[in-house]
Structure 1
Amino acid sequence: MSQLARTLALAALAALTSAVAFAQAEDPPPPRNVRHAEVTYVDFVTQDVTASVERPEGDMIVERKPAVFHSMIPLRRDFNEEMDASVTAVR
């Protein structure tokens, strides 16, 4: 490849990459001006509405078990070591 062709190819590559770098983002679309009615009236007089109440089968259990909390403080059953120490201190 000749020096001129190589220079032209390099210049074209530089022009293309710089064009991408200077690309501008599109302007965001203008916000839509949507106005909703403050109050909406629905007329059910002309409509037949059929409904039923569906409940789970069975009875609801109202009684619940109380929570069980175990003591986080270990209780001592005897004080043998302290009694032995006090007897030795008295002697």
Structure 2
Amino acid sequence: MRSDWILTEEELPADPDEVVLVQISGSPKKNIFLINAQEIATYSEEEGWMIEGYPEWKGAAPVAWMLLPEIYRAGDHDDC
């Protein structure tokens, strides 16, 4: 599984149901400005980026994204 940052100008998430971590700057609301913030998001060709914390943000433009790690499940590791 890839775990490095991917530039949005090079590649976008293919699955619109896939939740990813994005790095983004901009103003999602009046009086709120993000600088290189890391936010949870999804992407679809029809809708563009949907930033979880700011679903009303139209035209959000992350510079990079990465896949989220696998969810930890108790019992997956014998040494824990």
TM-score (norm 1): 0.12
Structure number with higher helix proportion: 1
Structure number with higher strand proportion: 2
Q: Which has the higher contact order (CA 8 A, sep 6+)?
A: 2
Is the radius of gyration larger for structure 1 or structure 2? 1
TM-score (norm 2): 0.14
